Amino acid sequence: MATEMPLGLSMLWESVEPEAALEERFGFNSFGAATHWVSAVLEQIWGLTALECSRMAISDQNAIVWVASDRGGLVVKWSRATERFAKLEASTRLLSALAGQGAPVPLPVTSLNGLDRETLEGPSCAVSFTVLPELTGDWLDVQDHAAVRSAGACLAEIHRTLGATHVDGSVFSSRSTGLKERIGGWLENFDRGFAPEATRRLADFLSRAHDLDDQPQLVHNDFRAANILTRNSRITGVLDFDDVVIDHRVSDLAKACVYLGTLFTDWRPTPIAVRQSLRAGYESVRPLSRSETEWFEILELWHGLMAIPGENDTAGWASGL
C-alpha cells in the first residue's frame, strides 16, 4: 500500500513544508525523532518491534507512518484533534466489527492493554493512536473498469455489513433533516453559482421529487480511489472509516460516483463512464429501488455541484454537470 508514497516525510495533500508541519502540529523536530517515538510506543504499548519506519505522511491534524515490524507491515495512525477522539475510538471499534464479519478492512492490532486505540501523550499534545496491519494492493485505477465494477459491488457489501453491525451510533454525525430540506437549504444559502444551469436543473428535480423510501444508516462517506486497494481488478482493501456518518446509502453511492477518481493531490472529476461502472457494480449486489433511482440523479448532481472548487475550475468539475 505504501509503495507509491515517497520515502521519508511528506504531506498527503497540503502544499506546505512537511518538516514545519511536523514540528508545529506534533512537536517533532525531525522525521527521525518522530519515527523514534513511534518505535518506542510500539515496543512499550503494543509489544511490537519496529524494524524500519520508511514513510510518514501528514494530513491536517493526523499522521500516518508505515512500519516494517516483527509482525509484518504495519500502518500507524494518530490524530491530535481532541474533539474527534470519541468518534475515532468508535470508528476503530467499527473497523474491528467489520473485519470480524469478513469485510476487506484492516483489523486493528490490540495493544498490551487490550485496546484497539490508545490516547497517549506526544511531545506537544495528546494524541489518539492506533495500529493497523498493512494491506497489500494498489490504489484503485479508475481506467480499470473491471476494478471499478468490483469497487461498486464492494461498496454495496460494505453498506449491507454496516447496516447489520450493532455499534453505538451516538458519536457518528447524523443528518438531522430530510434530503429535500437539506438540499433546499444548500441551494438557498450555500450554492456559489459556479454552474447556473446545473443549479436550475437541481432545483427543478427537487421540486418534483417524492420522499425517499429508505432509512438512514452508517455509511463510509469517503469511498474513493485513495481509500480503495486493488489487485488484479479485485478489491483487497477499503480504508479510512474515520469519516463514517449516518446517511442514506444512495447518497453515499452518489458521492462515491462523484469523487471516485480523486487521489491525494490528483483531484479531478470522475468520468461518466466510470460512474456508470461503479453504479452497475453496486446494483449487481444491491439494486436501487425506484425511489432511490429517482434520488440518485438528484444526489449525484448535488454532490457534483458541491465538488466545484471555485471559479478557477481548471479540472473541469462544472463542465461535467
CATH 3.90.1200.10 intervals, the chain:
138-320
Contacts of 49 (CB under 8 A, 6+ apart): 42, 43, 69, 70
Q: pLDDT per residue over 223-269, tens digit each?
A: 999 999 999 999 999 999 999 999 999 999 999 999 999 988 889 99
Q: pLDDT per residue over 41-91, tens digit each?
A: 999 999 999 999 999 999 999 999 999 999 999 999 999 999 999 999 999
* Assigned C-alpha cell, 51: 524494524
- Which pTM does this prediction carry? 0.93
- Pick from 283, 280, 284, 262: nearest CA to 271: 262
pLDDT category of residue 6 using cuts at 50, 70 and 90: confident
**Are 41 and 33 a contacting pair, CB within 8 Å?**
no
**Where do the H-state alpha helices sit in 165-307?**
179-189, 196-208, 249-259, 272-285, 290-307
CATH 3.30.200.20 intervals, the chain:
8-133
H/E run at residue 21: helix 18-26
pLDDT category of residue 10 using cuts at 50, 70 and 90: very high
Question: Which is higher by pLDDT, 108 or 6?
Answer: 108
Q: How many residues does the chain have?
A: 321
DSSP 195: S
d(CA 21, CA 12): 12
| Confidence at residue 51, expressed as pLDDT on a 0 to 100 scale | 97
**Are 294 and 206 a contacting pair, CB within 8 Å?**
no
CATH architecture under which domain 8-133 falls: 2-Layer Sandwich (3.30)
d(CA 272, CA 301): 12
pLDDT category of residue 4 using cuts at 50, 70 and 90: low
Q: pLDDT per residue over 19-36, tens digit each?
A: 999 999 999 999 999 999
Angle between helices 145-164 and 272-285 (to 10 degrees): 40
| Confidence at residue 172, expressed as pLDDT on a 0 to 100 scale | 87
Percent of the chain with pLDDT over 90: 91
Q: pLDDT per residue over 168-226, tens digit each?
A: 778 887 776 799 999 999 999 999 999 999 999 999 999 999 999 999 999 999 999 99
Question: Which is higher by pLDDT, 94 or 6?
Answer: 94
| Confidence at residue 3, expressed as pLDDT on a 0 to 100 scale | 45
d(CA 289, CA 22): 48
**Where do the H-state alpha helices sit in 29-68?**
31-41
CB environment 239-256: b (16+ within 10 A), e (fewer): bbbbebbbbbbbbbbbbb
Could you tell me the fold of the domain covering 138-320? Aminoglycoside 3'-phosphotransferase; Chain: A, domain 2 (3.90.1200)
How distant, in Å, are the alpha carbons of 149, 154, 259 from that of 274? 9, 15, 11
| Confidence at residue 101, expressed as pLDDT on a 0 to 100 scale | 93
Q: Has residue 279 got a pLDDT over 50?
A: yes
